[in-house]
Structure 1
Amino acid sequence: MKILVLANFGMGLYNFRKELLEDLINKQNEVYISLPNDEYVPKLVSLGCQFVETTLERRGTNPMKDIKLLLHYIKIIKRMKPDVVLTYTIKPNVYGGIACRITKTPYITNITGLGTSIENKDIIQKITLRLYKVGLKKASCLFFQNETNLKFFIDKNMVKSKARLVPGSGVNLAQHPLEEYPDGDEKNRFLFIGRIMKAKGIEELLRAAEIVKNKYPNTQFDLIGSCEEDYHQQLAELNKSGIINYHGQQDDVHSFIKKSHATVLPSYHEGTANVLLESASSGRVVLASRVPGCKETFDEDVSGFGFEVKSVDSLVETIIKFIKLPYGQKKAMGMAGRKKMENEYDRKIVINAYIDEINNL
């Protein structure tokens, strides 16, 4: 079988879908990947994928460039004649879906989250929803990563085909094994992993770090991720003053998770937050905003704590609540998170769902 995968960047495809690609290739399928060229493409090619370079602006709103993307998808689908197309993230879902409809090609869509363009209730949301309605209409199956997103699409009358709920992208339990919990006499080390942007709650996190650091100097905030919006100067100043340790983009996030006591994610919206799955799988406590895609990844007071989204006060209160916990309870919460990942979020669950749907075509 010839399978074409449409995605918007290599890192997400490699870090969260590598095992699916490997499984498809091991089953003697031809797997083609369409995405912009980046440092992860050679890694994907080494798995056995065949690369089709595609120009795509993940967050751009230029209609001419989006039309070019649609025409590009139509062109490669007509040339390649895939048996099925797998799409991820908004633009590949929308324009890839439309291209598949035009070429009468079966396709399976994964709704990895609503995204800022849908979360913000403005003209962009209306346009995006209309495009989504067209792009999703003939999908063989729609995968959703949380119930709230599924309900939103149903309420907007955009689910016209089979829909399935999967546990996000799942987590590779072997790649993120249970790690020994850091010593109790160490600093309380908090870790943020994500793109440095407003929608990830970075403004609330930086302010909370200042407040907590002043009250509890024996606390460390490590931040990992590319700076996608203009926070460079603020990060540099807080880094210089010792409020945070900003490490930029990192390939090996597990080594940072291993050294941390808890992972903090004050995100405004998620499909399912992979960083929380990886952290919990490693036996680390999760502190996250109570939004869809985050709140499902932990059990309140058992494996993590939730806080109100966009609230510095709530975030600070939750971080301090964790600091005050006895060491044994912190360690037990980390263990509970690992068990939850084993029972509910094993990546094999997601792979099997895809194989089922591909076999059903």
Structure 2
Amino acid sequence: MTTPTATIIFVSNDIDNFRHHRTHLVDVAVELNMDVVVLAGGNGIPPKNCEYQNVKIDRFQFHWTDFNIFKSILINIFRRRPAILHLVNLKPYLYGGIAARIAKSLGWQGKLVVSVPGLGRLYDGKDLTLAKKMRTKAIELVLKVCLGDATICFETSSDRDFWIKRGLTISNKTELTNGTGIDLAQFRPPRRRVSGRPLKVLYAGRLLKAKGLDVFLRTAEISQMENVEMVVAGQTEADPDGVSESILRDHPCVVFLGKVDDMPHLLGQTDIVVLPSRYNEGVPRILIEAAACGCVSIATDFAGSRALIEEGVTGFFLRQATIKGQSDEILSIIENLSENPSMITIIGNNAREHLFKGGFSSDAVKAAFQRVYSH
């Protein structure tokens, strides 16, 4: 076995999320013969082929204990002298950016890479109090100062353009990828859908109201359709916006599966995937997986969903802004598909074809990061 020639350090909010969405980055680094170190919060299982250091990261508030994030990153930069520091999520690229700026002033010559999964809650447009506006301005100022020479990787051109417009980066310092990529060989539609069974409608993701779980639950509650099964898959988080698993287990109108590891199998039994998210994400992985399995996607109209959905051709958009409005829209679409089941096959096939043409595979995304890491 060849001795690694360099080190890469990843910093992410949560190790479970990193393993689920960013393992391809570890694969790329290993293929480039690099030692891999991951600093992340949470108590999950890290990806293979990396050294994992647990760093407590509270995503929901800024606190003086955040100094420990900055300190851990700075110590690792000086101790390991990484060729690349790759930051994912807001707090990592905020404190990691500061640490990188200091390290560079003291002689570190490594490369700084930042992944922006979406605009997230920082720009959700809700509760724009003076305090929130000032906090956003302060964060942007730090990012402008500390990420000036970083390569910023975006999942949508809309997010990239937004950062450029805000003066947070410039065009020739960016890279565009189509989401995080999936192994298309693992996600396949069933050879044929079983006729006569209930229509299966799925919400899969973090159990958050902001992701639209409350919209999904209301849809299930107002539905009078006996031939439709409403299914929720996911796990709870320490998030003030979360919906508890006990509520979902006892809910009379949905089937709650909890955390599902075999998503290809679940999606192979699913007809419709719903994502009524209320904040701007990147390209949602669940919509990529749904398209790969020939499911019909119904999602809020935002930049990430527009990368996958063409109205009535590869899926459907939700245009309303309220819980009631969106749940009524979802129910109307489900009723229409239930009455015209052949549309599910046609739209599902269209979605899968679009996916194959659009560079959403893990190989395509890995190739983009090979370019980033190698130049």
- Give the TM-score normalised by structure 2: 0.87
Distance in 2 (CA, whole Å) between partners of 1:175 and 1:128 is 40
Q: Where do residues 49-198 of structure 1 align in structure 2 (5 Å cutoff)?
A: 49-62=50-63, 64-104=64-104, 105-119=110-124, 120=126, 121-122=128-129, 123-135=131-143, 137-160=147-170, 162-198=173-209
Distance in structure 2 (CA, Å) of the matches to 1:330 and 1:56 = 42
Q: 1:305 aligns with which of 283, 302, 316?
A: 316
1:72 & 1:219 partners in 2: Cα distance? 50
Change (3 A) 1:241 1:36: closer
Question: Per-residue displacement from partner, 1:124-161 (whole Å, max 9, x unpaired)?
Answer: 35424532442353343111111222222222211146
Residues 55 and 309 of structure 1: is their aligned pair in 2 closer, same or farther, counting only changes over 3 Å?
Answer: farther
Amino acid at match of 2:21: F
| CA distance, structure 2, for counterparts of residue 30 and residue 220 of structure 1 | 46
1:323 partnered with 2:324: no
Partners of 1:30 and 1:241 in 2: how far apart?
47
The answer to whether the 8 Å contact 2:200/2:271 transfers is yes
Cα distance change on mapping 1:182 and 1:130 into 2, 3 Å: farther
The alignment status of 1:258 with 2:265, answered yes or no, reads: no
Structure 1 unaligned segments of length 5 or more: list them: none
Deviation sequence 1:192-220 (CA, Å, 0-9, x none): 011111210122221121112xx212211
Q: Is the 8 A contact 2:245 2:258 kept in 1?
A: no
Identity of aligned pairs, percent?
22
Tell me what 2:350 maps to: 336
Greater shift in the superposed pair: 32-41 or 261-270: 32-41
Which is richer in helix? Answer: 1
Is the 8 Å Cα contact of residues 154 and 177 (structure 2) preserved in structure 1?
yes
Q: Identify if the C-alpha distance between structure 1 residues 298 and 67 changes in structure 2 by more than 3 Å, giving closer, same or farther.
A: same
Separation (CA, whole Å) in 2 of partners of 1:318 and 1:15 = 28
Q: 1:320 Cα deviation (Å)? A: 2.8
The match for 2:44 is 39
Equivalence map 1:262-277=2 (5 Å): 262-269=272-279, 270-277=281-288
Would the alpha carbon gap of residues 224 and 125 (structure 1) be closer, same or farther in structure 2, given more than 3 Å must change? farther
Deviation at 1:53, TM superposition (A): 2.2
Say if 1:201 and 1:310, in contact at 8 Å, map to a contact too. Answer: no
State how far apart, in whole Å, the 1-side matches of 2:353 and 2:159 are.
25
Cα distance in 1 between the residues matched to 2:44 and 2:173: 35
Map of 1:359 onto structure 2: 374
Distance 2:57 2:326 in 1: 37
**Unaligned runs of at least 5 residues, structure 2:** 1-5, 105-109
SS of residue paired to 1:336: helix
SS in 1 for 2:152: strand
* Residue of structure 2 equivalent to 1:26: 31
In the alignment, residue 29 of structure 1 is paired with which amino acid? Answer: M
2:156 and 2:133 mapped to 1: Cα distance? 20
Q: Which amino acid aligns with 1:94?
A: L
Q: Which residue of 1 aligns with 2:3?
A: none
Partner SS, residue 8 of structure 1: strand
Taking the aligned partners of 2:198 and 2:162, their CA distance within structure 1 comes to 42
In 1: Cα distance, 2:320 partner to 2:103 partner: 42
Q: Distance in 2 between matches of 1:40 and 1:142?
A: 27
Instruction: Provide the residue aligned with 1:216 in structure 2.
Output: 225
User: 1:241: Cα distance to partner?
Assistant: 5.4
User: How far apart, in 1, do the equivalents of 2:305 and 2:351 lie?
Assistant: 13
Residue type of the partner of 1:56? I
Q: Is the 8 A contact 2:234 2:260 kept in 1?
A: yes
When the two structures are aligned, how many residues end up with a matched partner?
351
1:97/1:139 contact within 8 Å kept: no
Query: Given the superposition, is the C-alpha separation of residues 258 and 127 from structure 1 closer, same or farther in structure 2, using an over 3 Å criterion?
Result: same
Using the alignment, how far apart are the partners of 2:320 and 2:175 within structure 1? 27
